[in-house]
Amino acid sequence: MTFASLGLIDPLLRALETLGYDTPSPVQAQAVPAVLAGRDLMAAAQTGTGKTAGFALPLLQRLVQEGPVVAANSVRALVLAPTRELAEQVHESIRVYGQNLPLRTYAVYGGVSINPQMMALRKGIDVLVATPGRLLDLYRQNAVKFSQLQILVLDEADRMLDLGFSEELASIYAALPKKRQTLLFSATFSESIRLLAGQMLDNPLSIEVSPRNVAASTVKQWVVPVDKKRKTELFIHLMKKQRWTQVLAFAKTRNGVDELVERLQGLGVNADGIHGDKPQATRQRALDRFKASEIRILVATDVAARGLDIDDLPLVVNFDLPIVAEDYVHRIGRTGRAGQTGEAISLVCADEVQLLAAIETLTRQTLARHEEQDFEPDHKVPATDASGQVIKKPKKPKKPKVSSAKGKLGKWMDSTDSDLPAPTVKPVRKVPSFNTGPKKKKP
């Protein structure tokens, strides 16, 4: 199959040729003809599947082939994205795909001054990529009008709801023309997403693709049980012992990101962090430097890192487990891409056992555990299995040990704590696509 056979016009085909895209990905093969035909879409696809081109290519084509010249302050296609980084990234892709077309594209998001955005919108924008909060601000200040809107895209709809944007989405939805084409992309399909889809979509075509990056790759995954207060120390210990080259690490909170980065920088390690409190320019610079290998360790929150296209990382470290189990799959999907092997290490404390159980249920595997010598936790992480069960109750906290260099040091354990020969690689089962099983409640 070729892009030409999907019915795309020459200026788009030339852009794809420049990018070296030869073959449409599965989501593109399904989405492009449907969107060109004017259908609404409900797609279970996430970053790494080529979903951006899947909606952007036919959207651009429809805008050049149909509809009016854009009027002042108007928008003809609106792409809503959950985070600033994703908005930037999606906008950049749309700009590149549409490089040979006479269309204006732009991105608006919070955390930066609103005035330049108001100025840019004055001329009218064919494709506007926006985070919901800033878009609503602009709308309420009459800087943007939706009367010419032909196409609405909700990118990472599940994440927009997770981030609490449902009210903003409802307000935006109320301001849009009823006659329009709507495309909804989401990694998961919970009840609330289905409700949103029911309100916003008209007889949509459903598309489902499994994430290329996780399902097709071999990622060595394991858990290192550790007491909460010793996580930073363990991180530094493993970094030195295993000679980590480039690492994307995830922490739960903004403070957690800052504290780890400070400790690492204090040791002279080239580290930086991205999270929602940092100005957009700083976040983008950190990301660019990480991609250029100028930063060795990038610490991020899920919100800041979600959807970012970072390829071919050797190692992802979960300094904290994610609150939402699906984020685990997003995180480890940054490594082991394109048939390469990657590693994902999770530092897990007793408080996180329910989160661990949720991840094991979602990914249908029991993650191997490896206690690190001298870091054996006083607060044991109860055993778990892939059915989501926590097998043992957490033991009462013991007093800190004076010496802990005893017992199962450095041994691999399975979920029942039996000693196993130390494997170097724990084979990982295929991770299922996300929208089939029942959605786990947030722990």
Residue ranges in contact with ligand AMP by CB under 6 A? 21, 23-25, 28, 47-53, 309
Of 3 and 235, the one with the shorter C-beta distance to ligand AMP is 3
Q: How far is the CB of 253 from ligand AMP (least distance, A)?
A: 26
Of 20 and 438, the one with the shorter C-beta distance to ligand AMP is 20
Is 11 buried (19+), middle (13-18) or exposed (0-12) by CB count in 10 A?
middle
**Strand 181-186 relative to strand 105-108: parallel, antiparallel, unpaired?**
unpaired
Of 53 and 299, the one with the shorter C-beta distance to ligand AMP is 53
Helix, strand, or coil (residue 357): helix
Query: What pairs with residue 44 in β-bridges?
Result: 186, 208
DSSP assignment string, 376-396: --SS----B-TTS-B-SPPPP
Q: How far is the CB of 105 from ligand AMP (least distance, A)?
A: 16
Q: How far is the CB of 310 from ligand AMP (least distance, A)?
A: 10
Pinpoint the alpha helices (H) of 229-324.
Answer: 231-241, 254-266, 280-291, 302-305
State the residue for tokens 């852009």: 15
Query: C-alpha dihedral over 382, 348, 321, 235, to 10 degrees?
Result: 180
- In 3D space, the residue among 233, 241, 210, 238 whose CA is nearest the CA of residue 222 turns out to be 238
Of 137 and 309, the one with the shorter C-beta distance to ligand AMP is 309
Of 190 and 213, the one with the shorter C-beta distance to ligand AMP is 213
Of 49 and 181, the one with the shorter C-beta distance to ligand AMP is 49
Q: How far is the CB of 311 from ligand AMP (least distance, A)?
A: 7
- In 3D space, the residue among 307, 306, 315, 305 whose CA is nearest the CA of residue 335 turns out to be 315
State the residue for tokens 């892939």: 386
How many whole angstroms separate alpha carbon 82 and alpha carbon 186?
11
**Strand 412-413 relative to strand 368-370: parallel, antiparallel, unpaired?**
antiparallel
Of 186 and 384, the one with the shorter C-beta distance to ligand AMP is 186
Residue 60 near residue 36, CB atoms below 8 Å: no
Of 48 and 256, the one with the shorter C-beta distance to ligand AMP is 48
Of 46 and 117, the one with the shorter C-beta distance to ligand AMP is 46
Report the Cα 169 to chain-centroid distance in Å: 20
Length of the chain counted residue by residue? 443
Q: How far is the CB of 434 from ligand AMP (least distance, A)?
A: 15
List own/partner pairs for 86-91 with CB under 8 A and 24 or more apart: 86/155, 86/156, 86/306, 86/307, 86/308, 87/129, 87/130, 87/131, 88/280, 88/284, 89/52, 89/307, 89/308, 89/309, 90/52, 90/56, 90/129, 90/155, 91/129
Of 156 and 272, the one with the shorter C-beta distance to ligand AMP is 156
The DSSP output letter for 68 is P
Query: What pairs with residue 106 in β-bridges?
Result: 128
